Chain A
Amino acid sequence: MKFYRTHVLVAQDTKSILAGSKRIEETLIEEIKLAGLENEIRVIPTGSLGYSENNQVAIAIYPDNIIYAPVLTSSVKEIVEEHFLKGRIIKALAHPMKHKEISMEERTSENQLNIDVQKRIILKNVGQINPESIHEYIAADGYMALEKALSEMTPESVIEEMKTSELRGRGGAGFPTGLKWQFTRPNPGPTKYVICNADEGEPGTFKDREIMEGDPHKMVEGMILAAYAVGGTDGYIYIRGEYNLSINRLQKAIDACYEYGLLGKNILGTDFSFDLCIHTGAGAYICGEETALINSIEGKRGEPRKKPPYPPSQGLWQKPTLVNNVETFANVPAIINHGGEWYKTLGVEGSYGTKLFSLMGDLNWKGTIEIPFGTTIGKIVDTIGHGVRYDRVLKGIILGGSSGSLIVPGELNTPIDFQSLSRIEAGPGSGSILVMDETRCIVDICLNIAEFFRHESCGKCTPCREGNAQICHLLEMISYGYGLPEDLEKLERIANTMMETSFCPLGQTAPSVLLQALKKFRGEFLAHIDENICPAGVCEINFVEEECSCG
């Protein structure tokens, strides 16, 4: 094996590629060759480094532990000549880490707890290894958990370990993962399915993409472990059709696993066999609901099924089926490696471990973060997001996506964990944090959400199909200045009916942000209706003229 004195990691996630990281990588290789260093310095593509701002490319240099950001094609020559040839760090280009969330040492060491706000367990390898190389994943202790499980543990003890960890599903509902596995295991085979729900469609959510683009093997290992535990024989990764980069990297990961005997017949020389393939979705938000997803794989419209029977007893093609989210599976290898008790040292009681969040909106820094449960919302906004941009005032936060909840500044001290959030009628949901500043109009935001759900309702049940359309219509009228005083009660009545009577979680949660907005920002709705004013100046209000006398 060839030895290199220096490794240069170039971020190649969607965001970095957009900012031109491919070009930077090519230029680096070129310049290194020109300097005659191609046998000493190796350029490696990797996932998101977590440092780059919008439209910027970041590179990391090991073993020097230096991050250069932003890197432009014009600065590559200088980096090669100064840093690689002469060994001098270019201070002007080096990333000012003290302003950032974490330093390199902290992100590489797994045992330092709560030193800073972020804690990388799931994203440990993201930005550290080449996601397209199984060797690098194995070198970073990859597939060690699988080897341990297959050689030392029974399927039952894997499930026990998962139960000890008290990991809760990361798809939104928060169901205990170990229990789900336990329910699936005793159901008779021979065929049993393990499905990864990678249909990340909740508006404002892009955390699963970070795993699939940056460390696809971790998720695949989690799935193989799950299959071993529940007796799974066949697996599907149901992924959005729009996530091309994720699809390509996952396919490479699966191919490598087959080549190395980690998938297929007699995995690692044992009796355990498991097949895995990718199934591409075709653009339907409802397919994030597990039974709709199952219908979709069966080649049907993505409409949800009646529960019970639940998928663990009758799922895909009526066979026992386990469905978990990408992030849930990505947690599994660390739990098997270090044990469920170790996992419980992270987070807070009832919500153990770390959680990924997509941070966006009116913030100074946006991107995917990983925090231990128990961190307060305010700390995330201030420390990781570096506060509201343009020094504006925070108006509210939509937590957990369009079907999530609305947080107001008075609730910023709430820790992010299942219990604390449920006290303010919220939940981590899909893991998105959308920050809104004072210039945002709540009616406009609610209308945008309603338009989304009107489009995405599958149409199977009346409350959701008609309710979303009616909410949309009423909000549209209010935003144009044609709202009536009784409209707010009407909205509440429709929303409550939907929550109580819709067939599946889509309809039940679609009006939740609206209901909270009506409570927390009622004055703003009234201003649109009574005074024909949009306080934030967003809505295009048509002033209602005196009624026409010609009738």
Chain B
Amino acid sequence: MEEKKHLLEQLHEIQNNDDKHYLPKEKVVELAKKHGYDLAQVYGVETFYTMYSTKPRGKHIIRICENQSCHMANSKKLIRHMEAILNISVGETTEDGFFTLELSSCLGMCSVSPAMMIDEVPYGNLTEDRIDEILATYKEDK
């Protein structure tokens, strides 16, 4: 049914298949050439939407919510805790390339706030201890 291929879906595909969960320049240029996109348009799109990254990211991406409901459930404190134990700031990747910490707009999990997602798995009712437990389970598969 498509009149045109959908650029957003194509970018998702590149990013999901990339080990470092980002949009490598050469892949994006290749995509633009193949489908006749203006490179500026593609760059405009990849920098507009928060789920895309133009920089390499870690193996697991932590998205923690800081909107109203989570904010009221003290998510700021959790973000600081997360930054402290991972030894990075929001937007950065740990030295071992294992975790990237990002903020997210509302994840729609306000009834179990504070909430976060690691890759595609949602977590709610977070506390500092709970975060330690969850991160430990990821470190085990390292």
> In the complex, A495→B50 CA distance in Å?
26
Q: Which among A203, A234, A359, A455 has the greatest number of chain B C-beta atoms within 10 A?
A: A203
Contact between A398 and B68, CB atoms less than 8 A apart: yes
Contact between B104 and A242, CB atoms less than 8 A apart: yes
Question: Closest residue to B65 on the A side, CB-wise?
Answer: A203
CB-CB under 8 A from B71, the residues of chain A are 445, 448
> In the complex, A445→B66 CA distance in Å?
12
Convert B95-122 into 0s and 1s, putting 1 for each residue whose CB lies closer than 8 angstroms to a CB of A.
0000000001111111111000100101
User: How many interface residues does A have (CB within 8 Å)?
Assistant: 59
A54 at the binding interface (Cβ < 8 Å): yes
B141 at the binding interface (Cβ < 8 Å): no
CB-CB under 8 A from A202, the residues of chain B are 106
CB-CB under 8 A from B85, the residues of chain A are none
A440 at the binding interface (Cβ < 8 Å): yes
A243 at the binding interface (Cβ < 8 Å): yes
Interface 9-residue window, one of A275-283, A305-313, A343-351: A275-283
Convert A184-225 into 0s and 1s, putting 1 for each residue whose CB lies closer than 8 angstroms to a CB of B.
000000010000000011111110010000000000000000
A299 at the binding interface (Cβ < 8 Å): yes
Question: Closest residue to B37 on the A side, CB-wise?
Answer: A299
Total contacts A-B at CB 8 Å: 143
B3 at the binding interface (Cβ < 8 Å): yes
A202-B106, A367-B111, A445-B68 known; A302+B49 contact, CB < 8 A: yes
A18-B125, A299-B37, A402-B68 known; A282+B50 contact, CB < 8 A: yes
A201-B105, A282-B52 known; A301+B45 contact, CB < 8 A: yes
Minimal beta-carbon separation of B91 from chain A (angstroms)? 12
Convert A390-410 into 0s and 1s, putting 1 for each residue whose CB lies closer than 8 angstroms to a CB of B.
000000001000100000000
Minimal beta-carbon separation of A137 from chain B (angstroms)? 23
Which B residues, 58 to 104, have Cβ-Cβ distances below 8 Å to chain A?
Answer: 63, 66-69, 71-72, 104
> In the complex, A444→B72 CA distance in Å?
9
A358 at the binding interface (Cβ < 8 Å): yes
CB-CB under 8 A from A451, the residues of chain B are 66
Contact between B45 and A275, CB atoms less than 8 A apart: no
Contact between B11 and A282, CB atoms less than 8 A apart: yes
Contact between A275 and B1, CB atoms less than 8 A apart: yes
> In the complex, A253→B107 CA distance in Å?
23
A476 at the binding interface (Cβ < 8 Å): no
Which A residues, 229 to 260, have Cβ-Cβ distances below 8 Å to chain B?
Answer: 234, 240-244
Find B117's partner among A242, A296, A361, A452 (CB 8 Å cutoff).
Answer: A242
Contact between B68 and A242, CB atoms less than 8 A apart: no
> In the complex, A334→B103 CA distance in Å?
39
A175 at the binding interface (Cβ < 8 Å): no
A204-B106, A361-B69 known; A299+B4 contact, CB < 8 A: yes
A203-B105, A282-B50 known; A14+B12 contact, CB < 8 A: no
A153 at the binding interface (Cβ < 8 Å): no
Contact between B105 and A282, CB atoms less than 8 A apart: no
A300-B41, A362-B72 known; A205+B1 contact, CB < 8 A: no
B9 at the binding interface (Cβ < 8 Å): yes
Contact between B50 and A206, CB atoms less than 8 A apart: no
> In the complex, A204→B104 CA distance in Å?
13
> In the complex, A445→B63 CA distance in Å?
21
A54-B125, A204-B69, A206-B110 known; A281+B105 contact, CB < 8 A: no
A147 at the binding interface (Cβ < 8 Å): no
> In the complex, A419→B133 CA distance in Å?
49
Question: Closest residue to A444 on the B side, CB-wise?
Answer: B71
> In the complex, A244→B71 CA distance in Å?
23
Minimal beta-carbon separation of A241 from chain B (angstroms)? 5
CB-CB under 8 A from B122, the residues of chain A are 14, 18
Contact between B106 and A203, CB atoms less than 8 A apart: yes
> In the complex, A298→B37 CA distance in Å?
12
CB-CB under 8 A from A282, the residues of chain B are 8, 11-12, 49-52
A379 at the binding interface (Cβ < 8 Å): no
Contact between B50 and A242, CB atoms less than 8 A apart: no
> In the complex, A451→B4 CA distance in Å?
36
CB-CB under 8 A from B108, the residues of chain A are 200, 205-206, 209, 240, 242-243
B7 at the binding interface (Cβ < 8 Å): yes
Contact between B67 and A204, CB atoms less than 8 A apart: yes
Which A residues, 436 to 464, have Cβ-Cβ distances below 8 Å to chain B?
Answer: 436, 440, 445, 448-449, 451-452, 455-456, 458
A203-B105, A452-B67 known; A283+B50 contact, CB < 8 A: yes
Minimal beta-carbon separation of A12 from chain B (angstroms)? 13
A434 at the binding interface (Cβ < 8 Å): yes
Minimal beta-carbon separation of B119 from chain A (angstroms)? 10
A506 at the binding interface (Cβ < 8 Å): no
Contact between A360 and B110, CB atoms less than 8 A apart: yes
A15 at the binding interface (Cβ < 8 Å): yes
Contact between A434 and B69, CB atoms less than 8 A apart: yes
Contact between A448 and B109, CB atoms less than 8 A apart: no
> In the complex, A317→B4 CA distance in Å?
10
CB-CB under 8 A from A368, the residues of chain B are 111
A465 at the binding interface (Cβ < 8 Å): no
Find B110's partner among A204, A281, A436 (CB 8 Å cutoff).
Answer: A204
A380 at the binding interface (Cβ < 8 Å): no
11 example contacts (A-B, Cβ-Cβ < 8 A) are as follows A18-B123, A204-B67, A209-B108, A241-B12, A301-B45, A359-B111, A368-B111, A434-B69, A434-B72, A445-B71, A445-B72
Sorted from nearest, which 10 A-B pairs have the closest CB atoms?
A299-B7, A282-B49, A203-B67, A283-B50, A283-B51, A206-B108, A366-B111, A203-B106, A282-B51, A301-B48
Q: What would 15 more interface pairs be, CB under 8 Å, given A54-B124, A360-B69, A445-B71?
A: A200-B108, A203-B68, A203-B106, A205-B106, A242-B51, A242-B104, A281-B51, A282-B51, A283-B50, A284-B50, A300-B7, A300-B45, A317-B3, A456-B105, A458-B48
Interface residues, chain B, with chain A CB atoms under 8 Å away = 1, 3-4, 6-9, 11-12, 37, 41, 44-45, 48-52, 63, 66-69, 71-72, 104-113, 117, 120, 122-125
